[in-house]
Chain A
Amino acid sequence: MKILVCMKQVPQKDAPLKLNESGTWIREDVSYEVNEPDAYALEEALRQREKHKGEVVVITSGPARAQQVLREALAKGADRAIHLEDEKFVGLDAFNTAKAIAAAIKDEPFDLIFTGLQSDDYGYAQTGVILAELLGWPHATIIMQIEKTDAGIRVKRELEAGYFQFVDMPLPAVLTIQSGINKLRYATLIGIKQAKNKPLRKVTLAEVGGAIGNNLQKIERLYVPQKTKKTEYIEGPAGEVAKKLVDKLRNELRVL
C-alpha cells in the first residue's frame, strides 16, 4: 500500500500566544510541534506498511520551519517527504490547503491518504474531507481502526458518546485519524541518521499557485475570548490555597 500522510506543524500546546500588530494572526515567535492526531496518522501508516508492504510518504504545507515535522517523520520511518514551502501557505483556508496538497501529488497513485481529524491551530476539521472530494475519492472520518479487506478496507469510525461504527469502503480513500488509534513510537538514533539521506521534495507556491484560488473565508480579527463566567481566583502559597479551597468546598459549595 502506498500511503500519504498529511502532517501540520502547529504551536506547542502550552506555548503562550501573542497577537500580531494587526490582530489577525499570532506572532510567529513561539515553539512548534506536530499536530497531535497527525502523529497518530503517521504511526498508523507505518504500521500498515509493516503489515502490507508499500511506501509511506509525508507531506506538509508551511514555511521553512515546518520541515522539522517532515524530518521527525522520516526519522520515525517514513520513506520520503514533500514540503510545500512558503510563508503564504500558512494563511490558506482549508479549501485552498487541500487544493495545494492535491496539486502537489497529482502524479502519484496513492492507495490511502491519512490526515489528522483536525488541526490544533485552525481547527477547521475539514482539510481531509475536502481533499477527498477534490480527488473524487470516498472518505471516512474520526478513524480508530483500519483493516485491509479483499474489496478495500474496513474502518472503525468513532461516533459521539462512546459509540462506534464499522464502515466498508473501496480504495483509494481518504481517512481522517483520531488521536489514540495506536501507540506512538519514538524515533531511534539510527532512524534519525537515516532520515538525513531520505528524499525530500520541495514544492514552491508557484508550482501549485494555479490550483489555488482566493480564500473563501477571512479572519477579520483574532482576540482573547471574553470571560462570561465570574471566576474567583484563589491565590497565595500552596498551603494557604489548600485551606481556602477547603473552606469554599465546605461553606460555599457544601460538598464536604
Chain B
Amino acid sequence: MPETILVVVEQREGKLNRVSWETIAAGQAIAGATGWPLEAAVVGTNAPSISPEVAGKKLAKVYAIESRKLDAYTPDAFAAGLKQFLATKQPKLVLMPHTYQVRDFVPKLATAMGRSVVSDCIGFKHESGKLLFTRQMFQGKLAADVSFAGDAPWFVTFQNGAFRADKAEAGASAAAVETVKVEIAEGVVRNQPQEVFKEAKQAVDLTQAEIIVAVGRGIKEQKNILIAKQLADALGGDLAASRPICDSGWLPMDRQIGSSGQTVAPKLYLALGISGAIQHIVGMKGSRAIVAVNKDSEAPIFEIADYAVVGNLFDIVPPLIEEVKKAKAGDSHG
C-alpha cells in the first residue's frame, strides 16, 4: 500500500469550517513535495452532504465517515470512530486544523493508537527525504522543526492561518466519495454535550471599527488603561484588549480580540504592551496596518507589525496623545 496523506476536515452543523481548506492546501503542498497521494475524510452524520464540496478539490478520494453516535461532537465518539477508520486505512500522515474541537480529541485518538501528534504547526519542510514540521514554542518567541520518531500514522495539526485557504486547488474532476460506516458501541460515549451558546449579547461590535487601540498586560495596572483610552479618544478609535486584561476584569469581555474574542480588521491596529501570542494575532492580523509598542525587541508582535516601536509604552503614549491632538487641531484650524 502506498503512503498516503489524509486530511480530516471539520464541519459544524453541516457546514464546513473554513479552516479545513487551509488544511487541504497544506496537504496538497506536502503531497507535492513527497509525491504521496492525498485523501480527505469528513466525519459525522452530515458527511454525505458535505463530501461533494470537499471532493471538488484536487484529492484522490474522499471518505464520508458515518455513525449516529457522531451526530453531536464528543471526544469519545470522534476518537473511537476515527480510530476504527484509520486502523484499516493506515495512512502515513493525518492532517487536521488545530481547532478547539481537534485539540479536544486528537491527543486521545493518537494515544489510543500508541501514536503522537505534532500540534499547532505553521509549516513543513521536506529535507533529503525527511519530513519536518515547524511549530512555535515559547509563545511564538522561538520556532522548532520537529520530526516523528515513532510509527505511522503521524498526526499533525496546523495552526489557523498557517496555509492559505484560497491556495487549495480544485481538481480536474470530482474525487470519488466513499461512505464508511463505523460502529461505536453503547457506553463508549461518556460525555453529554448540551447546546452551543453565546453569552449575553455583545454590547460592543469592534468588527466595523476603523481604528483600534489595544492594550495588553504591558499596561500593568487597571488605572493605566486610562492613557490608552485617551489615545483611542484622540484618534477617534475604539479601545480593545488582549485576553489577560479581560480575564482580570479591567475591560469587559466584549473588548477582547483573538481566537476566543472578536476578529477585527481595522485600518489601524495599535497594540500597546501586547506580546503577540498566536491566539491574539488570529483576531487582528487582517488589520490594514499594525503599529506595535513593546519594550521587548523580540516580542512576536513585531513579526507582524508594519511599524514597530521598541520602548516603554508609558514613555511613548503621553507624547503620542499630544501629537495626535495637535495634528487634529491643525485640521480644524484649516
| Chain B 79-118 near chain A by CB (<8 Å), digits 1 or 0 | 1000000000000000000111001110110011001111
Interface: A206 (CB within 8 A)? no
Interface: B48 (CB within 8 A)? no
Hey, which chain A residues are within 8 Å of B235, CB to CB?
249, 255-256
- What is the interface residue range for chain A against chain B? 35 or more
A220 to B100, CA, bound (A): 27
Question: Min CB distance, B323 to chain A, in Å?
Answer: 4
Question: Min CB distance, B13 to chain A, in Å?
Answer: 12
Whether A242 lies near B316 (C-beta < 8 A) is yes
| Chain A 156-200 near chain B by CB (<8 Å), digits 1 or 0 | 001111111111111000000001100000000000000000000
Whether A217 lies near B311 (C-beta < 8 A) is no
Could you tell me which residues of chain A, from 202 to 256, have a CB within 8 Å of some CB in chain B?
Answer: 214-225, 227-235, 238-239, 241-243, 245-246, 248-250, 253, 255-256
Knowing A126-B119, A166-B194, the reply to whether A241 touches B316 (Cβ < 8 A) is yes
Name B17's closest neighbour in chain A (CB-CB): A160
Hey, which chain A residues are within 8 Å of B195, CB to CB?
165
Knowing A162-B198, A162-B261, A256-B328, the reply to whether A225 touches B191 (Cβ < 8 A) is no
Name B299's closest neighbour in chain A (CB-CB): A14
Hey, which chain A residues are within 8 Å of B98, CB to CB?
125
Whether A165 lies near B117 (C-beta < 8 A) is no
Whether A17 lies near B145 (C-beta < 8 A) is no
Whether A161 lies near B303 (C-beta < 8 A) is no
A228 to B326, CA, bound (A): 35
A160 to B324, CA, bound (A): 36
Interface: A58 (CB within 8 A)? no
Whether B138 lies near A120 (C-beta < 8 A) is yes
Question: Min CB distance, A244 to chain B, in Å?
Answer: 9
Hey, which chain B residues are within 8 Å of A126, CB to CB?
103, 107, 117, 119
A230 to B79, CA, bound (A): 42
A242 to B199, CA, bound (A): 39
Interface: B76 (CB within 8 A)? yes
Hey, which chain B residues are within 8 Å of A232, CB to CB?
306-308
User: How many residues on chain B are close to A (CB under 8 Å)?
Assistant: 90
A122 to B246, CA, bound (A): 25
Interface: B226 (CB within 8 A)? no
Interface: A93 (CB within 8 A)? yes
Knowing A217-B148, A227-B303, the reply to whether A163 touches B116 (Cβ < 8 A) is no
A253 to B327, CA, bound (A): 14
Whether B328 lies near A163 (C-beta < 8 A) is no
Whether B261 lies near A26 (C-beta < 8 A) is no
Hey, which chain A residues are within 8 Å of B308, CB to CB?
231-234
Interface locus among B50-58, B59-67, B164-172, B262-270: B262-270
Interface: B190 (CB within 8 A)? yes
Hey, which chain A residues are within 8 Å of B302, CB to CB?
227, 231
Question: Min CB distance, A39 to chain B, in Å?
Answer: 12
> A217 touches which one: B112, B116, B320 (CB < 8 A)?
B116
Hey, which chain A residues are within 8 Å of B108, CB to CB?
129-130, 132-133, 139
Interface: B139 (CB within 8 A)? yes
| Chain B 298-315 near chain A by CB (<8 Å), digits 1 or 0 | 101011111111110001
Hey, which chain A residues are within 8 Å of B104, CB to CB?
129, 140-142
> B107 touches which one: A17, A133, A170 (CB < 8 A)?
A133
Knowing A222-B143, A232-B307, the reply to whether A179 touches B197 (Cβ < 8 A) is no
Can you pick out 21 interface pairs between chain A and chain B where the beta carbons lie within 8 Å of each other? A94-B117, A95-B111, A125-B98, A126-B103, A129-B108, A140-B104, A161-B263, A162-B262, A163-B197, A165-B193, A179-B244, A217-B116, A227-B302, A238-B319, A245-B320, A246-B323, A246-B327, A248-B291, A253-B267, A255-B210, A255-B289
Partner-A contacts on B (CB < 8 A) = 75-76, 79, 98-100, 103-105, 107-108, 111-112, 115-120, 132, 135-150, 190-199, 202, 210-211, 217, 235, 243-244, 246-247, 259-263, 267-268, 275, 288-289, 291, 296, 298, 300, 302-311, 315-316, 318-320, 322-324, 326-328
Partner-B contacts on A (CB < 8 A) = 11, 13-14, 16-17, 19, 26, 93-95, 98, 120-126, 129-130, 132-134, 138-142, 158-170, 179-180, 214-225, 227-235, 238-239, 241-243, 245-246, 248-250, 253, 255-256
